[in-house]
Chain A
Amino acid sequence: MYRWVDHTSEVELEIEAAGEREVFEEAVRALAELLGAVADATRATFVRRVAVHATDRPALLAAWLEELAFLAEADGFVATHVMELEMDADAVHATVGGVLGAPPPLVKAVTYHRLAFEPSGTEYFARVVLDV
């Protein structure tokens, strides 16, 4: 589950998910919504490989979103769902499905401000602030 939280500067994404992989999946759905795409796997007709590296889970999530935002800005590709995802301590390798179009280049940057990715009870909680 994700939600967009009002933020004085820009927008803040909060994610609650059952596992670490699901956090990355929810981030894809949230970004697709922000960019105006429908997170529906049946409509996805294009596939991209995404690989990001960072020092820890919060930074990996920021890198993940930054890569997806760049694909939207540079290639018009909006990821709508995760097809495959592998992760280790400092990397995520994934195949994502999505749509091609002219998404609004809303996301100027993915910040580290109040960045979080941590266990919360039996689930995981993550937070990312986007500069839009």
Chain B
Amino acid sequence: MFDPQRIDDELWELPIGTVPGMRVPARVFADAELLAAIEQDRSLEQLANVATLPGVLDAALAMPDIHQGYGFPVGGVAATDAADGVISPGGVGYDINCGVRLLALPLTYDELLGDRRERLVHQLSRTVPVGTGGRGAQEGLRGANLDRVLALGPRALLEDLGIGSEDELSFTESGGCLEGADPAAVSARARERGASQIGTLGSGNHFLELQRISDVYDEAAAQAFGLRLGQLTVLIHSGSRGLGHQVCTDFVKRMDAQLAHYGIELPDRQLSCAPIESPEGRDYRAAMEAAANFAWANRAAIAHRVRQAIASEFGPGTAERTHQVYDVAHNVAKLERHEGRLVCVHRKGATRAFPPDHPEIPSEYAAAGQPVFIPGSMGTASYVLAGRAAAMTRSFGTTCHGAGRRLSRTAVRKAVDGGELRRRLEADGIVVRAPSARGLAEEAPEAYKDVDRVVEIVERAGLAARVVRLRPVGVVKG
């Protein structure tokens, strides 16, 4: 149906007119092989639909890990004019501020002697509740004040419960707090769904991964991030749990009901949106930012539990010397200034990637650029990247967020047996803890695109550069 035109070695374009109502072109960062994989689902159509949003600027963009989502594709980026553009809950996604946090241990893989690797992964699985029901739903952090978490994010846990540190806050995107958050904008139902879930991983593609640094590409940046060859790391992938899902649900419905009032016509109701400065737009931003703060607090609480697991295996000193490299969101909308314009950047399955010397990254990382974490599949590899200058001119300061799904959950379940996958991973030296064989199969490496190739494209495009590669040695699946 679509015939993307090649712009350069890493960029393809669907021109205005590809679908009715496009205001700007749609552009995809990919090579020919990745583009062929992308064309297997409806993600290009969805990207072209995003280009119809009122106030969308320059182009609707897709990263090489793009795949079909709801309304917006996953891996999509849309910047709208802050003065007269719209904000769209679907452009953020249901799991508001789904993101990743990387912890670096003061240990190398070679120091995991005997059965300590398996014991550590086992302890992680005991300490961090997973899944959507049972422990995963009920064993959230006790004593957290939900209103303060919604308003302040992980700072509320630090001030009220002594969890985390000022260092951790400074090594978190936006300091772990979007200041426009208003707890009162979050519905009672969203609160009910999220109240008991702080410090829980969730399900689906959420995970904890114990990793070793297998390759170092940029020694100086690695040193700035406190990373070295052979070092152990823990990657935490989770989001705003049921609370974020409900915020999105509430505002998709509310904005959908007002589309005619604002004279907005859309090709897919999931793109429902409202002017940023309308009552609906302001209320959504207040609720979405509160949900984002909740997600940062959730990952902070999970990190606290990870440290407890490390302490139980290696002692409190090792846990204290485990440092947080950074924490990045990959489902969020933020007001940012790009090329002199104030814009609302929707990143859905896409990661902010600010370059060296950008004022919004920690001074310790000024020379290296903002850390970006790209989880691959549990059998392959993940990457630490650093933001680069071209991201500011080509992608509103954005890069990819993962490998990108290639097969549906149903398709991969038909192709992969969960038990066999577990044996295969363990034969490769990866300890696995998963609540169900079915859930494990759904996240099999076969379900994802080649993360090495995805990362190569964003590096060639100048959006981000490789710093280190991480090989999994243990996985706790949500």
Query: Which residues of chain A are within 8 angstroms of B411 by Cβ–Cβ distance?
Result: 6
Query: Given the complex of chains A and B, what is the CA–CA distance between A7 and B405 in angstroms?
Result: 12
Residue on A nearest B414 in the bound complex, by CB = A6
Is A9 part of the contact surface with B, judged by Cβ < 8 Å? yes
Q: Is the CB of A8 within 8 A of B132?
A: no
Query: Given the complex of chains A and B, what is the CA–CA distance between A102 and B137 in angstroms?
Result: 12
Query: Which residues of chain A are within 8 angstroms of B316 by Cβ–Cβ distance?
Result: none
Quick check: which of A13-21, A25-33, A92-100, A112-120 contacts chain B, the rest being far away? A112-120
Q: Which of B67-98 contact A (CB under 8 A)?
A: 67-71, 74, 90, 94-95
Query: Which residues of chain A are within 8 angstroms of B256 by Cβ–Cβ distance?
Result: 55, 59, 112
Q: Is the CB of B133 within 8 A of A112?
A: no
Q: Is the CB of B405 within 8 A of A8?
A: yes
Q: Is the CB of B132 within 8 A of A106?
A: yes
Q: Is the CB of A105 within 8 A of B410?
A: no
Q: Is the CB of B257 within 8 A of A7?
A: no
Choose among A10, A113, A114 the residue that contacts B409 (Cβ–Cβ < 8 A). Answer: A10
In the complex, per-residue mask of B255-270: 1 if CB is within 8 Å of any chain A CB, else 0 = 0110000000000111
Interface size class, chain B: 35 or more
Contacts A7-B408, A8-B41, A113-B71 given; indicate if A105 touches B137 (C-beta within 8 A).
yes
Q: Which residue among B95, B242, B249, B270 has the maximum number of chain A CB atoms within 10 Å of its CB? A: B249
Is B126 part of the contact surface with A, judged by Cβ < 8 Å? no
Query: Which residues of chain A are within 8 angstroms of B70 by Cβ–Cβ distance?
Result: 9, 111-113, 129, 131
Q: Is the CB of A9 within 8 A of B253?
A: no
Q: Is the CB of B270 within 8 A of A109?
A: no
Is A62 part of the contact surface with B, judged by Cβ < 8 Å? yes
Q: Is the CB of A70 within 8 A of B189?
A: yes
Choose among A55, A73, A114 the residue that contacts B268 (Cβ–Cβ < 8 A). Answer: A114
Query: Given the complex of chains A and B, what is the CA–CA distance between A6 and B409 in angstroms?
Result: 8
Is B192 part of the contact surface with A, judged by Cβ < 8 Å? yes
Choose among A10, A102, A131 the residue that contacts B245 (Cβ–Cβ < 8 A). Answer: A131
Q: Is the CB of B42 within 8 A of A8?
A: yes
Residue on B nearest A104 in the bound complex, by CB = B133
Is B235 part of the contact surface with A, judged by Cβ < 8 Å? no
Is A63 part of the contact surface with B, judged by Cβ < 8 Å? yes
Is B193 part of the contact surface with A, judged by Cβ < 8 Å? yes
Query: Which residues of chain B are within 8 angstroms of A8 by Cβ–Cβ distance?
Result: 41-42, 67-68, 405, 407-408
Is B272 part of the contact surface with A, judged by Cβ < 8 Å? yes
Q: Is the CB of A105 within 8 A of B132?
A: yes
- The smallest C-beta distance from B140 to any residue of chain A, in angstroms, reads 14
Query: Given the complex of chains A and B, what is the CA–CA distance between A73 and B243 in angstroms?
Result: 13
Q: Is the CB of B268 within 8 A of A59?
A: no
- The smallest C-beta distance from A60 to any residue of chain B, in angstroms, reads 11
Choose among A55, A70, A73, A113 the residue that contacts B257 (Cβ–Cβ < 8 A). Answer: A55
Query: Given the complex of chains A and B, what is the CA–CA distance between A44 and B335 in angstroms?
Result: 50
Is B252 part of the contact surface with A, judged by Cβ < 8 Å? yes
Query: Which residues of chain B are within 8 angstroms of A105 by Cβ–Cβ distance?
Result: 132-133, 137, 242
Query: Given the complex of chains A and B, what is the CA–CA distance between A55 and B269 in angstroms?
Result: 13
Is B350 part of the contact surface with A, judged by Cβ < 8 Å? no
Q: Which residue among A59, A66, A73, A131 has the maximum number of chain B CB atoms within 10 Å of its CB? A: A131
Is B156 part of the contact surface with A, judged by Cβ < 8 Å? no
Query: Which residues of chain A are within 8 angstroms of B268 by Cβ–Cβ distance?
Result: 112-114
Q: Is the CB of B408 within 8 A of A110?
A: no
Q: Is the CB of A104 within 8 A of B132?
A: yes
The 5 tightest CB contacts between A and B, nearest first, are A113-B70, A113-B270, A112-B269, A8-B68, A111-B70
B interface list, Cβ under 8 A from A: 41-42, 67-71, 74, 90, 94-95, 132-133, 137, 189, 192-193, 242, 245-246, 248-249, 252-253, 256-257, 268-270, 272, 405, 407-411
A interface list, Cβ under 8 A from B: 6-11, 54-55, 58-59, 62-63, 66, 70, 73-74, 102, 104-106, 108-115, 129, 131
Q: A110-B249, A115-B269 are in contact. List 10 more A-B contacts (CB 8 A).
A: A7-B408, A11-B410, A54-B257, A104-B132, A108-B245, A109-B94, A109-B248, A111-B70, A112-B256, A113-B270
